Every structure is written in C-alpha cells, then in structure tokens.
Amino acid sequence: VNSIPIRRLGDLFGTINIVLFSPEDLMLVKEGPALRRRYMDIELCQLSKVYYFNLQKYYKILKERNTLLKKMVKNGSLLEDTLDVWDKQLCAYGTKLAEERKSFIEDLNLKAEKIHGDISANKESLKIEYKESVDYSNFYEKMVKNRDKDIFYGNTCVGIHKDDMVFYINGNNARDYASQGQQRTSALSLKLSEIELVRKSISDTPVLLLDDVLSELDSSRQNYLLNNISDTQTIITCTGLDEFVRNRFTVNRVFEVIAGHVYERSI
C-alpha cells in the first residue's frame, strides 16, 4: 500500500472498502447458514480490524478445543480438566463477536426494510435478524453444560460458528416460504443497505463490484439497482451491453475480453 509492503493480511482490511454483488449473493437467502456467516464476517472484517483480530483468535481457539475433544473421544475424560482453559477464552472472544454481528445486522435491517419496501411498492415487509445458537449472556455456563455432548461428537456444538442470520418477508421465513423473486429482492435490498452502512461507517463511499449480476435480475430490479448507484464508483462484469442501453446506464469506460485478451472498447 503506497509502496509499503503489507506483512499481514489483516493490515489490508479497511485500506479500500469494497461491496461485492455476485450471483452467489442471490443465494444468501435460500442457501445454508455457512454462506451467511461468511458474508457477515467478510463485511465486518472490512469495517473493523478489532473484529478481524478477534475472529482469528476465536477460530484458532475453536480448532484447539475441537482437537482436544477428538482426543477425549479416544482417551475418555482424562483431559476434561484442560477444557476449561479453552472454554473461557472461546466465550470471551465469541461474546464480543456475537455482539458486533448483532449490531451490524440491526443496522442493516433498518436500511434494508425501507429499500425492500420501495422495491416492492410497500407490498412486502422485510426483516433481518441475527439468530444466536446460544444465549451469550451465559455462554460459559452453556459450554460447561454442553461438555458431554461436545465430547460425544468430538466437536463444539454452540458458538458464533453455529449462528445464522434470518430473512423474514411479511413475518415468514424467506428461506422456506418466499418465491425466488422475493428472495432476490431481499438479497438486493441487503446489498444496497450494505453500501449505505459502509458509507456511514467510514464517511466515504465504497467501491461497488457487480459481477455478472444484472443478468440474474429482472428489468424492474435492474432499474432499481442502477438508479441507486449513480453516486457510487462501480465496476461491472457482464456478457453484453444491451442491459445498460435499456436502462440508460452511464458507462465511462468499457473493456472487452476476447480469447483471453483485453481490449478497451469505444463507447
């Protein structure tokens, strides 16, 4: 960065803030919780180096604890006393991370609720909630109570690595009851909310990357997206310019990839 070598990946976070919207993000609502946890962690790591540090610590401790649990499956409860050391550390970092995730989702929800209402002409209401796998106010007590189960499975059964974020449309879980169009509207609302949240957090506008996502949206959602990113530096990959022409999108520069070679194309 500015000719200075980066020694650690964590030093790069926050240097430039990116919001990426790809076809994979349209699966956020209907796919499993691992994808949503990854989404939360990536966004929060951009906004907070402390979150990144705590997340690294948490997963390192989790790995050590799970290794110990697997040894206990083979060797019985002889090593159980050493669990307490890992439990206390895991709870300390896990509680901090859960609080930051919950605050992040609450802020996103406030913005996404309005955006989703605008896209759906107020016919639908969207709510996003952080779903905890455990009550973090007594996380340690739960860990102690859960030890026999953890030893049996050789795995830590509760914690931020098991948490989720849930989308509700008109009070119903969108993963189970929403149509594909409603799920895509929810994902679009989420991404546009993210731009606003990052802008508020860093007092600057992030760079938006649209990776072949317009072809996955119908014309009304395309129009809404393009009309709301006019003040955002945006880099777009696509297989054709026709959608931009239809939606009167102002294009500054165009590069075309042909047989592995990149050419700048006149507009």
Answer whether 83's CB lies under 8 Å from 65's CB: yes
Answer whether 26's CB lies under 8 Å from 211's CB: no
Specify the pairing of strand 254-258 against strand 261-265. Answer: antiparallel
Q: Which pTM was predicted?
A: 0.87
Residue 82 and residue 163: Cα distance in Å, rounded? 25
Contacts of 181-184 with C-beta under 8 Å, sequence gap 24+, read 181/218, 182/124, 183/26, 183/29, 183/30, 184/26, 184/216, 184/217, 184/221
Instruction: Identify the residue whose tokens are 């006393």.
Output: 81
| Count of beta carbons in the 10 Å neighbourhood of residue 259 | 4
Residue 150 and residue 192: Cα distance in Å, rounded? 39
Query: Judging by beta carbons within 10 Å of its beta carbon (0-12, 13-18, 19+), is residue 155 exposed, middle or buried?
Result: middle
Q: What DSSP state is assigned to residue 237? A: E
Q: How far is CA 81 from CA 13, 78, 142, 154, in A?
A: 38, 8, 16, 16
Predicted pLDDT of residue 103? 96
Predicted pLDDT of residue 248? 62
Residue 131, SS3? strand
Predicted pLDDT of residue 247? 64
Both structure tokens of 58? 């948490």
The terminus-to-terminus CA distance of the chain in angstroms comes to 32
The tens-digit pLDDT sequence of the chain (267 residues) is 889 898 887 788 778 889 999 888 888 998 999 999 999 999 999 889 899 999 999 999 999 999 999 888 776 666 677 888 999 999 999 999 999 999 999 999 999 999 999 998 899 999 999 999 999 999 999 999 998 899 888 899 999 999 999 999 999 999 999 888 888 899 999 999 999 999 988 888 899 998 988 778 888 888 888 888 888 899 988 887 776 666 666 788 889 999 999 999 887
Specify the pairing of strand 126-131 against strand 164-169. Answer: antiparallel
Residue 13 and residue 236: Cα distance in Å, rounded? 22
Predicted pLDDT of residue 213? 85
Predicted pLDDT of residue 98? 97
